[in-house]
Structure 1
Amino acid sequence: MRRLRQLAARTPAGRQRYVDLLRALAIGMVVLGHWAVAAIGEDAAGRPTGRSALPDLPWAYPLTWIAQVMPIFFLVGGYANAASLTSRRAAGVDATAWLLGRGARLLRPTTALLLVIAAAAALASLVGVAATLVRTVAWFATIPLWFLAAYLIVVPLTPAMLALHRRFGLLVPAALAALVVAGDVGRALGPAELALPNYVFGWLAVHQLGIAWRDADAGRHDAHPDAAGGHPPRPASARDRARGRRLPLSRRAGAAALLGGLVATVLLTTVGPYPVSMLNVPGERLDNAAPPSLALLTLTVAQFGLILLLRDPAERWLRRPRPWQAVIAVNAVVLTVFLWHLSAAILLVGALDAAGVLPTPPVGSAAWLAWRAPWVLMLTVVLAALVAVFGPVEARTGRAGQGRTDGDARGGSADRDGNGRRAHRAGQGRRTDGAATSGRTPADPGWRATARSALTAAGFAAVVYALMVNAQTPRSAPEPMGLPAAALVAYLVGAGTLRLLRSGWGSRG
C-alpha cells in the first residue's frame, strides 16, 4: 500500500487516468465474461471438458454488446501507443527503440506463461498422460493468445499509422472500415478468404481511432493551457479541419456517437446479415469478432460515445487517492491477469474433479445459474494466487510505473516508456559526445540501425507466427509439449532476438 501511495503521489499532472481505468476495466470484463459463460461437462471417459455456454443462451446475445470489450482495449492501445511514441521521439529515441521497449511489457509475461505450459506439458507426457489430452489442456490455457497475436501486429505499425493520421486524419480509419466491408462481402458471397485481412484491418481501424482520440485530446489540452501545464494554444489549422483530422470529443459528439453506433448496430444485426452476438457462438454463419466485422466497428463507435459521456465524472472520481491507487495496482499486472485467467479455470476444475465435487449442471438451469457466483469467487482466489507468483514479471518490466507515457494526454510529461530508461541504453537517439545525434551515434552507423530495425521486425514476425500456428493447431493434436514444436521454437527465437536487441546487442561497434 505504501508503494501504491508513492506511485499515486508521483503521477504526472498531465496523465490521462481515465485511459488507465478503461484498460483495467476492459481486461476485467474479458475475464469475468469468459468465466461467466463457461460450461463445464464430462466427456465419454468421464473427464471434465469445457465450452462456451452462449449457444444455449440466445437470450444473452444482446448482453455481448456490453461484454465485448476488446475494441476498448485496442482503442486505449492506440491512444497510449501514440502518446508514448510521440514522447519518446521528443526525447531523441527512434521508433525501433520505442518498439523494443513496448514489446518488453507484452512479451515477458507471455514468455513466462508459455514456458510454464511447456514445462508442465512435458512433465505430464513423461508420466504417461496422452499427448492429445496434454494438447487439449494447453489449447484452453493459450486461448487468450489470439488477442495478443493481433495486438503484436498492430503495435509495430504505430509509427506508420501515426504518420498517416497526421497526413489524412479521420480518412484513415474510414478507409480501413471500407476494407472491412469488402472482407465482409467476401464472407457473404465468397471466397471467404477475402475476410482474413479483416483481422488486421478491423483491429487497426479501432487502434487508429485511438490515435485520433489522443491527437484530439492533445489539441484540447493545448487549447486550454491551464489544464495542460501552461503550454501555448495550438488550434487546429484550416487544413486540419478540412481533412477532419480532429476527432470531436464533446458530450454532444459522445451522445451522437452512442446513438448513431447503436442504431447502425441494431440495423446490421436485424435487417442486415450480421449475428446479434458480438462474441463467438459455435455454429453461427458469421462471427463478428473473428475476424472483426462492420457490426463490431459500429458497436465500437457506440462504445466510444459512451466513453466520452462518462469521461468527466470518471476523471473526477480518479482524482481521489484510493480509486487511483486501485487502478495503478491493476494496471501493474493487467496482462498477467488476462494471460492466466483461463489457466486458473483449468486448475480449479482439475482440483474440484480430483476431489469428486465438480458440479456439472445443465447450462441455463437454475443450478447452473446459482453456481455462477461461487464459481467466479473461487476462480478469483485461484487467479490471485497465480498473479502473486507471476505478476512480478510484468510489474518489474513496468516499474517505471507512472513515469510511462501510457495514457498521457500530452505525451511529453515523462521520459520513460514501458521499458524505463533502457530504451536509451538500447541504442537509438542517445548522446555519446554531447551533441544531438538525431537517432544515430558514431558507434551506430546507418547500416547498423537498418539491420537493427530489420531484426526487430523479424523478431515480432516470428512471435506473431508462433502465436498464430498455436491458435490454428487443433486442440486434439498429439503435442507432447502442449504447444506445436514449430510454434514454440519460433516464439523463443523471436522473443530471444528482441531481448538481445533491447539489451543493446547489435548497436555497438
Structure 2
Amino acid sequence: MGVPQQKRPPRQASAVQNVRAPERDPVIDLARFFCLALVVVGHTMMVSPVLHADGTVTTENTLALQDWFEPIIWIFMVMPLFFVAGGITGLQSWRRLRASGGSGFEFAQARLLRLVRPAAALLAVMFAGLWAARLLGVEPQVVELIVTGAGMPLWFLAAYLAAQLNIPVLAALHHRAPWLTLAGLTALVVAVDCLRGALPLLAYANILFLWCAVQQLGFILADAAPGSLGASRLVGIIVASNLLLGLVTGLGLYRGNMLVNLNPPNFCLLLLGVAQAAALQLSRPLLVTAAAAKWVRAVVGLAGRRAMTVYLWHLPLLATMSGLVLLSDLPKPSAGTAAWWWSRPLVLLCVVSLLLPVLALFGRLEERPTASAHSRRRPAAAVLTAVVVVFVPVADAAFNGLTLALLGGGAACFALAVLLLGRMPVRALPAPADAAPGDSGGPLPQAPLSANVEP
C-alpha cells in the first residue's frame, strides 16, 4: 500500500484578487484617447527646429505663427478636458479608497506612484543618453534642444499631480458646498490674474488654482443626476462660456492665443473647461455608441493603459528625431512651407514607430504595482517627503528652464520618491450584509456617471 499523498493547501488568494474591479466608463476612456491623440498630432505640427546661417539652433512653434490658428485652438486646446476627466475618475477613486478605510496619504501614495515611476524612467534615460552624446562630441545646442523637448511634458505632470493630490480636501469641500467651492477657486484664479502684472511670479499660483477649478467641474459631472443637465441647458453653457471668452479676449484683457494662455494658465482655460465639460456631457449618448464598437474598445483600451508613457515620451522622441535631422544631410524644409506641411504625416509616423519599442520597454511602469496582502501603507512623513522631492526639480525647471544637470538631478529625485513610496498597499472593500463568507464585497455603489477608477 502506498502512502497517500498529502493534499497541498490551497494558495491563499491575494488581496488583489479579492478586490473587484469597478466598471469603466467607456466615454471617459474615449475622451482621454481623443485628447492624447490630438496632443501628439498637434505637437508634430508645432515643434520645428531651425538651423541658422551662423550655426545657432532655435525652435519655432509653427502653428502659433499661423494667423488662422488662434480661432482653431479654441476648439483643439483639450488640456482642460484632461483635467475634467481626471476630476471624474479621481473623485470616484478617492471615494472607493475612503470606503475601504483608506486615508489621504494612501491616495497620494497611489497617485504619485502611478505618475512618477514612468517619469523617473524618462528622465534617467534622457540624462544618460544626452550625457553620452555630449561626451561623443554632439553639438551642445542640439543637446539643449533635446533637453527642452524632455522638459515640456513635465509642466503637465506637475499641474496634474498638484490637482490630484488635493482631491481629498477638495472632495470634502465639494460634498459640503459644490458650487461655492467652484466659485471660491474661480475667484482665486481671477485674483491671481489681476495681480500678475504687478507680481509676475504670482501667475504660477494658477497652476494650482486654475487646474483645481477645472478638476472641480469633473466632480460636478460625476455627481450629476441623469437628466439633470438637459441638452438645452448644456448648449446654453457652451455658448455662454465661449461668448464670455470672446469678450475677455476681444477687450484685450487676455490674449486670444490659447497657447499663450496655457503657461502660466489663466481664466481663459477655465472658460474653455466649462465649455468642454458641457460638450462632453452633451455628446455622451453619441460617444457611448462610438465606444461600443469592438475595434474602438481595443484601441482605446491599449492606449489607455500606456497613456502617461505616450504623453511623457512623444515630445522627447520628437525633439531627438529633430536633432538628428539637423545633424544629417536630410532635406530640411522651412517651417510653414508646403514641403514642411507635406512632411508632417511622415514625422508623425516616425514618432509613432519610435514609441512602440518605448512602450514595450517602459509601459509596464504605469501598471499598478503588484503588492502582497501584507503590504502596509507608508508613513505620512515618507509620502510628504516624496511630494517635496518630486516638486523641487519641477519647480526649478519651470522658473529657470531645464538643463542637462537638472535633468540628472530630477531623475535622482524622482527615483528617490519611488523608493520613499514603496509598493502600493491593497485594501479589500467592505463586504455587503448578504455577502458569502470570505467574499470581499462588491464595489462602492457607482454615482449616476460611472467613472474609471484609477489606482
For the aligned pair, the TM-score class normalised by the smaller chain equals: 0.7 to 0.9
Q: Corresponding residue for 2:407? A: 483
Q: Which residue of 2 aligns with 1:494?
A: 417
Q: CA deviation at 1:64?
A: 1.1
Which amino acid counterpart does residue 243 of structure 2 have in structure 1?
A: V
Aligned to 1:456, which of 377, 380, 383?
Answer: 383
Q: Flag the 1:305–1:147 CA change in 2: closer, same or farther, 3 A.
A: same
Report the Cα distance in structure 1 between the residues aligned to 2:312 and 2:297, rounded to whole angstroms.
23
User: What is the rounded CA distance, in whole Å, between the counterparts of 1:365 and 1:358 in structure 2?
Assistant: 13
Mapped contact 2:117–2:414 kept (Cα < 8 A): no
Deviation, 1:354, is 4.4
Distance 1:351 1:122 in 2: 15
Deviations 1:112-136 (CA, angstroms, capped at 9, x unpaired):
1011011112322333446665344
What is the match of residue 105 of structure 2? 96
CA shift in 2, pair 1:146/1:59, >3 Å: same
Contact 1:177 1:205 in 2 (8 A): yes
5+ long unaligned stretches in structure 1: 1-10, 224-247, 281-287, 399-418, 429-448, 505-509
Match of 2:303 among 306, 330, 338: 330
What SS class does the counterpart of residue 197 from structure 1 fall into? helix
Distance 1:466 1:458, change over 3 A: same
- Alignment match, 2:340: 368
CA distance in 1, matches of 2:95, 2:104: 10
Structure 2 distance, partners of 1:145, 1:350, is: 20
**1:346 Cα shift?**
2.4
Structure 1, 382-391 or 318-327: larger mean CA deviation: 382-391
Verify the 8 A CA contact 2:105 2:380 in the aligned structure 1. Answer: yes
2:146 alignment partner AA: V
CA distance in 1: counterparts of 2:357 and 2:54, whole angstroms? 31
| Residues 231-263 of structure 1, C-alpha deviations (whole Å, 9 max, x = no match) | xxxxxxxxxxxxxxxxx5332332122111111
CA deviation map 1:282-339 (0-9, x unaligned): xxxxxx1122211221111111121112111111222232211211111011111101
1:25 equivalent to 2:34? Answer yes
Query: In structure 1, what is the equivalent of residue 220 of structure 2?
Result: 212
Q: Deviations over 1:127-173 (max 9, x none)?
A: 34466653442222221011101111111111011000001112111
For residue 497 of structure 1, report the CA deviation from its aligned partner: 1.1
Distance of 1:185 and 1:21 partners within structure 2: 37
Q: Secondary structure at the match of 1:427?
A: coil
Residue 278 of structure 1: CA displacement? 0.7
Preserved CA contact (<8 Å) 2:218 2:277: no
Shift of 1:360: 2.8
Distance 1:256 1:71 in 2: 19
The change in CA–CA distance for 1:373 and 1:25 in structure 2 (over 3 A counts) is same
Residues 344 and 130 (structure 1), Cα distance of their counterparts in 2 relative to 1, 3 Å cut: closer
The answer to whether the Cα contact below 8 Å between 1:467 and 1:491 also exists between their aligned partners in 2 is no
State the partner residue of 2:363: 391
1:473 to 389, 397, 400: 400
Aligned to 2:264: 291
Query: Is the 1:137–1:482 Cα contact (8 Å) retained in structure 2?
Result: no
Quick one: distance in 1 between partners of 2:223 and 2:64? 41
Tell me which amino acid in the other structure corresponds to 2:376.
G
Mapped partners of 2:175, 2:351: distance in 1:
45
**Is the Cα–Cα contact under 8 Å of residues 206 and 300 in structure 1 kept in the other structure?**
yes
Correspondence for 1:114 among 123, 132, 138: 123
- Partner in structure 2 of residue 381 of structure 1: 353
Matching of residue 279 in structure 1 with residue 259 in structure 2: yes
Residue 276 of structure 1: SS of its match in structure 2? coil
| Paired letter, 1:81 | G
Counterpart-to-counterpart distance in 2, 1:133 and 1:355:
12
Whichever residue aligns with residue 213 of structure 1, its letter is: L
Query: Shift in Å at residue 482 of structure 1?
Result: 6.2
TM-score between both structures, scaled by the size of structure 1: 0.74
Deviations 1:77-136 (A, max 9, x none): 111111111112222332222322222221111111011011112322333446665344
Pairing 1:427–2:376 present: yes
1:172-187 → structure 2 map (5 Å cutoff): 172-187=181-196
CA distance in 2, matches of 1:484, 1:384: 25
- Asked if the contact 2:49–2:57 (Cα under 8 Å) also holds between the matched residues in 1, the reply is yes
Percent identical: 30
Look up the SS of the partner of 2:86 in the other structure. helix
> 1:278 is matched by which residue type in structure 2?
M
Aligned residue identity for 1:463 = V
* Contact 2:48–2:62 (8 Å) recurs in 1: yes
Partner of 2:152: 143
Q: Does 1:62 align with 2:71?
A: yes
* Structure 1 residue 469: Cα displacement: 1.4
- The equivalent residue for 2:242 is 262
**Is the partner of 1:93 in helix, strand or coil?**
coil
Instruction: Report the counterpart of residue 300 of structure 1 in structure 2.
Output: 273
Q: Is the 8 Å Cα contact of residues 206 and 264 (structure 2) preserved in structure 1?
A: yes
TM-aligned CA distance change 1:348 to 1:134, over 3 Å: closer
Tell me if the contact between 1:257 and 1:304 (Cα under 8 Å) persists in the aligned partners.
Answer: no
Contact preservation (8 Å) 1:40, 1:360: no
Cα pair 1:262 1:298 within 8 Å, conserved: yes
Output the TM-score relative to the length of structure 2.
Answer: 0.82
Summarize the Cα distance change of 1:151–1:13 in structure 2 as closer, same or farther, 3 Å threshold. closer
Q: What amino acid is aligned across from residue 181 of structure 2 in structure 1?
A: V
Q: After TM superposition, give the deviation of residue 467 of structure 1 in Å.
A: 1.6
Q: Which amino acid aligns with 1:309?
A: L
Distance 1:99 1:254 in 2: 33
Does 1 or 2 have the higher relative contact order (CA < 8 Å, sep 6+)? 2
Structure 2 match to 1:192: 200
CA shift in 2, pair 1:57/1:85, >3 Å: same
Partner Cα distance (1:132, 1:40) in 2: 11
* 1:202–1:297 Cα contact (<8 Å) kept: yes
SS at the partner of 1:40? strand
Q: Distance in 2 between matches of 1:159 and 1:103?
A: 14
Distance 1:423 1:110 in 2: 25
